[in-house]
Amino acid sequence: MAERSQYEELARQISAVGAVKRSLSRILPAECPSGSAAVLSLIGRHGEMRMGRLAELLAVDMSVTSRHVAHVVERGWLERSPDPEDRRSRILRLTPAGRDLLDDLGRRTTDMFAHYLGDWSDEDVGQLNAMLARLRESVGDCRAHATRTPV
Amino acid sequence: MAERSQYEELARQISAVGAVKRSLSRILPAECPSGSAAVLSLIGRHGEMRMGRLAELLAVDMSVTSRHVAHVVERGWLERSPDPEDRRSRILRLTPAGRDLLDDLGRRTTDMFAHYLGDWSDEDVGQLNAMLARLRESVGDCRAHATRTPV
DNA sequence: TATTGTTATACTCTATAACTATA
DNA sequence: TATAGTTATAGAGTATAACAATA
């Protein structure tokens, strides 16, 4: 159990990560906002999947996922095939164009981090990744427990 | 220098921190969105300051800062006094009501993290805080170097 | 009846650009 | 002329609720 001031500092740090996130989104190619990049990256990393699974990995509502996916599909980077095992579902799969774009995105991300994180060791980055994964697992999105307190 | 796949994972992790951020914003009281909470928290932590300094700490444009501050001032949680040394500037200072609210916010944040991060040691949280601070310092918001690449 | 996914709507956060006031 | 801050506008991300189709 950590001290109170540590928790308050953590809240500020989490809030400030937004600046880094926005830096990442600024290096993206046109037509590819960060929501689209996240969709492509996760499907590239985990392979084809259904909407529900993607929504989990993105940690956003399925309605949001649906919008991001529609954007990516419209641009020919992703295909939505019907799932033969459950016709309510659709399987998401990268197209060749999507794979090309994903390579490009990886290059841009790598270039940026290599530039700004040049003095970070492989272990440093790995450790930060591990702690962020742990944080996400510990907190999750808590939507089930959420109750916005009235005044 | 880290491996390419580490950087791509870092990009996904940073993107996913949004879920934790939204969990934090769900526990806020009415009338106090996360932008307002960030303003109050930073002024509580660093003491009175001017708009420009706050914009730096928030890592957002001053126009955004101005809007957040206006919201907080309208609700009586912050006062904007003219700066006697430079009449273009205004000094931001918590009101008693703002201090009360800030106490409340700290309680909510602490309760939430104590609940979800119960198995994190003080060192764990401190280490994550340190790494996030380092990340932010390394990357910053990079706005000066940003050029959104055309197709 | 419950679940998968889509769409309509509304809210928050953000940046850019134009503007005011002061240095 | 340059700087501190405000306001108008537009774009991206998100959640809730209502809806369609299928299990």
Question: Region A82-91: what's the mean pLDDT?
Answer: 96
CA distances from B128 to A20, A36, A66, B47, B134 (A): 16, 28, 33, 24, 10
Does residue A48 surpass a pLDDT of 50? yes
Helix axes A122-139, B4-26, angle to 10 degrees: 30
A70 lies within 8 A of chain B by CB: no
Residue A28 DSSP symbol: S
Residue A149 pLDDT exceeds 60: no
* Average pLDDT for B117-125: 95
Is B15 contained in some domain? no
B88 DSSP 8-state letter:
T
pLDDT on residue B148: 35
Q: Which nucleotide is nearest to A62 (CA to C1')?
A: C5
- Report phi then psi at A93, rounded to 5: -145, 140
- CA–CA separation, B51 and A27 (whole Å): 28
Residue type, B8: E
The answer, yes or no, to whether residue A151 has pLDDT greater than 80, is no
Those residues whose C-beta lies under 8 Å from the C-beta of residue A149, and which sit 6 or more positions away, are B27, B28, B29, B30, B108
What CATH number should be reported for the domain holding residue A103?
1.10.10.10
pLDDT at A150 over 50: no
pLDDT at residue B124 greater than cutoff 60: yes
- Per the structure, the complete domain to which residue A111 belongs is given by 28-133
pLDDT more than 90, % of chain A: 88
pLDDT at B142: 62
In a domain, B118, yes or no: yes
Q: A124 lies in a domain?
A: yes
Which value, to the nearest 10 degrees, does the dihedral of the CA atoms of residues B25, B30, B31, B36 take? -30
For residue B87, is it within any domain?
Answer: yes
pLDDT above 80 for B122: yes
Helices (H), chain A: 4-26, 34-46, 51-58, 62-74, 96-116, 122-139
Q: What is the mean pLDDT of residues B7-15?
A: 96
Full DSSP string of B13-81: HHHHHHHHHHHHHHTSPTT--HHHHHHHHHHHHH-SEEHHHHHHHHTS-HHHHHHHHHHHHHTTSEEEE
Q: Inform me whether the C-beta atom of residue A11 falls under 8 Å from chain B C-beta atoms.
A: yes
pLDDT band at A2 (very low <50, low <70, confident <90, very high): confident
Q: Which of A23, A90, A99 is nearest to A52 (CA)?
A: A90
Give a yes or no: residue B137 inside a domain.
no
A99 part of a folded domain: yes
Is A143 a residue whose pLDDT tops 70? no
Given a cut of 80, is residue A120 above it in pLDDT? yes
Query: What mean pLDDT is predicted for residues A126-146?
Result: 81
Neighbouring residues of A1: CB distance < 8 A, sequence distance ≥ 6: B114, B118, B120, B121, B122
Tally of domains in chain A: 1
Q: Does B133 touch chain A (CB under 8 A)?
A: yes
pLDDT band at B3 (very low <50, low <70, confident <90, very high): confident
CB atoms B29 and A149 under 8 Å:
yes
Confidence of residue A141 (pLDDT cuts 50, 70, 90): low
Q: For the segment B12-70, what is each residue's pLDDT rounded down to a tens digit?
A: 999 999 999 999 999 999 999 999 999 999 999 999 999 999 999 999 999 999 999 99
pLDDT at A146: 38
User: Residue written as tokens 């937004």?
Assistant: A18
In a domain, A33, yes or no: yes
Instruction: Give residue B147's pLDDT.
Output: 37
Handedness of CA B63, B64, B67, B69 (dihedral sign): negative
Across B77-81, average pLDDT: 97
Please report whether residue A21 resides in a domain. no
The integer distance in angstroms from the CA atom of B147 to the C1' atom of D14 is: 26
Measured between CB atoms, which of A110, A125, A138 is closest to B117? A138
Q: What is each CA distance from B89 to B49, B50, B81, B95, B107, in whole angstroms?
A: 10, 7, 9, 19, 32
Residue nearest to nucleotide D11 (CA to C1'): A33
Structure-token pair, residue B69: 């501050």
Supply φ then ψ for residue B29, to 5 degrees: -70, 165
Residue B115: its H or E element: helix B96-116
